[in-house]
Amino acid sequence: MSKVSDSYASVIRGVSQQVPHDRLPGQHWEQDNYISDPVRGLSRRHGSEFKDDQQLTRPPTQEDLDDGADRSEQTLFVDGQEYGLFHRTKNYPDSRLAPLVVVHKDTSRFLPVRYPYDGPAAAIMGEGISTITAAGRYILLASANRPVAHVTTDNTLASSKQHAVWVRGGVNSRKFSITITINGVAKDYSYTTLGSYYDGVLDTSDIPPYNDPPTNSDPNKLYTKQINDRVNAYNTKVNQHLAAVAKDISPGSIAEKLAALVKVDHPTAVADGPYVCIVVDGIVSADDGGNGDLIRTVSREITAAELVTSRHYDGKVVKVVPKQANALAYYLKAARTDGVTGGFGEVVWRETAGLGVSLSWVFLIGLIKDGICYVASSPKELATLTGTEVPPIEDSSCGDGDSSPIPEFMTRVITHMRMFQDRLMIIAGSTVFLSKSGDYFNFFRKSVLAVADDDPIEVFAQGTEDDVITSGVQHDRNVILCGKRYQYIVPGRENMTPRNP
């Protein structure tokens, strides 16, 4: 008995899906509401069931129809539920269609969308959304027209007039000085400590002797007394000098002498123990006449973190510029150890941002709660709408424009967003940015001094600067990105860190 085996060239054999010469023998030319399948045979097409609707307040106009035709749909899974978001891609000012339509795909019902109708969220959704993604329980919607808005602040400026000079020790016959430079003009204020030896001389030559050899007569007793008195007076002056020297070389005494000199020109100068506190719009430096170990200044810049003072003004920000070649500058901020805000006192120094970057607008943030989709222009506004705590978008925490540059997307329109390896991927043009791992609203490094594995990442492919990435899909742990000119792949089989982008 012979056996014959074969296979169909395609299992898609619907009439409307095949050109005439590819149709099977005897297959109909037209079938209404039927599916012709070579394996299962002829079956009736499944019908439709009406689930839900949204009514217009007027008969649809041509702009309404154009708005509906230009919509884009994004399917998201939020808290294990599948939702379809149909959003406007460009501005239709006369359209009465809702700018954002949300469908619960598991129940096939429309979700009400709530947002401040007189705020930026309404205007942004009306102008068009370029991309939508889900970050945890939050839905992020990027504007198709508005670039990301940020504000930069020079954090060193507010405390640039606050200076502290710390006298750490004193020695004899040493010149201690403070130099204040204002508009390029420098002036020194110097004090020299007392010498360790008394300058006076013990001289008894002016006391006449009475008898030679001396006797026990009264005049000889008077001579001896005069000599002893002269010696005692000399010793008293020596002891007084030694006491004065011990006080004079104390750090507190030196600070008082220097503060009194500076106060003549700058009334804000005051001594606080071994410190000289100065508030002046200039640069303050100090010198101990030696290697600098006995006096230390924190003005606007220092060369190493260990050169800070243990006391300073609360909130003082100083720039640390290492002496090593090509070393990046970083910034330290003083905070009172007793928790008191402001004033001069004991402080601890922590790394901070010299150039503060605050994001005033990045994307719309949505949250589905109690069957309603809430959309706001900021986490704070969303928290007010929903009564739910929403994590803020973090400001920069270290560095400046050189040591911690502003990410590319913060100056451009976001063209695509998605999640990748527990990071929020934000793309503007051809530059791919990945947020801090697990912290989707944090876009800045934690420290300039060390690169952590969970720090943000920013990469781009060389030679593609003029491309615009508009979409992407995840495939086998990798992400395939599609631009207008090129296609890219972001490998995901290994964990991506700032060290191996």
E strands, 90-242, where? 100-104, 109-111, 113-114, 129-135, 138-143, 149-154, 162-167, 175-182, 185-192
Q: Is the pLDDT of residue 320 over 90?
A: yes
Confidence (pLDDT) at 218? 56
Angle between helices 218-248 and 251-263 (to 10 degrees): 70
The residues, ordered by sequence, that sit 6+ positions from 240 with a Cβ below 8 Å of its Cβ are: none
Q: Is the pLDDT of residue 136 over 70?
A: yes
Q: What is the mean pLDDT of residues 34-52?
A: 74
**Would you state the structure tokens that stand for residue 401, as one six-digit string?**
């424009």
Q: Report percent pLDDT > 70 for the chain.
A: 87
- Residue 243's φ and ψ, nearest 5 degrees, are -65, -40
Better pLDDT: 43 or 83: 83
Q: How far apart are the first and last CA of the chain?
A: 63
Please give the angle made by the CA atoms of 297, 298 and 299, to the nearest 5 degrees.
105
Confidence (pLDDT) at 307? 92
Confidence (pLDDT) at 156? 92
Do 452 and 491 form a contact (C-beta atoms < 8 A)? no
Q: Is the pLDDT of residue 475 over 70?
A: yes
Do 37 and 28 form a contact (C-beta atoms < 8 A)? no
Neighbours of 213 (CB within 10 A): 6
DSSP 9-27: S-S---GGGS-GGGSPTT-
Range name among 22-26, 131-135, 394-398, 465-469 with the lowest pLDDT average = 22-26
Q: Is the pLDDT of residue 210 over 70?
A: no
Band (pLDDT 50/70/90 cuts) for residue 172 is: confident
Confidence (pLDDT) at 95? 85
Band (pLDDT 50/70/90 cuts) for residue 20 is: low
Q: What is the mean pLDDT of residues 86-110?
A: 89
342: left (phi over 0), alpha (psi -120 to 50) or beta: left
The partner residues of 279 in beta bridges, in order of sequence, read: 162
Confidence (pLDDT) at 244? 62
Distance CA 321, CA 400 (A): 12
Q: How many residues does the chain have?
A: 501
**Per-residue pLDDT tens digits for 270-311:** 999 999 999 999 999 999 888 888 999 999 999 999 999 999
Band (pLDDT 50/70/90 cuts) for residue 96 is: confident
Q: Classify burial at 210, counting beta carbons within 10 Å of its beta carbon; exposed 0-12, middle 13-18, buried 19 or more.
A: middle
Distance CA 182, CA 282 (A): 5
Mean pLDDT for the chain overall:
85
The model's pTM is 0.77
Q: Is the pLDDT of residue 115 over 80?
A: yes
**400-403 LR contacts (CB < 8 Å, sep 24+):** 400/329, 400/331, 400/353, 400/354, 400/355, 401/355, 402/328, 402/329, 403/328, 403/329, 403/330, 403/448
Confidence (pLDDT) at 334? 94
Residue 436 DSSP code:
B
Q: Is the pLDDT of residue 174 over 90?
A: no
- Cis? peptide before 213, omega within 30° of 0: yes
Band (pLDDT 50/70/90 cuts) for residue 235 is: confident
Q: What is the mean pLDDT of residues 212-219?
A: 54
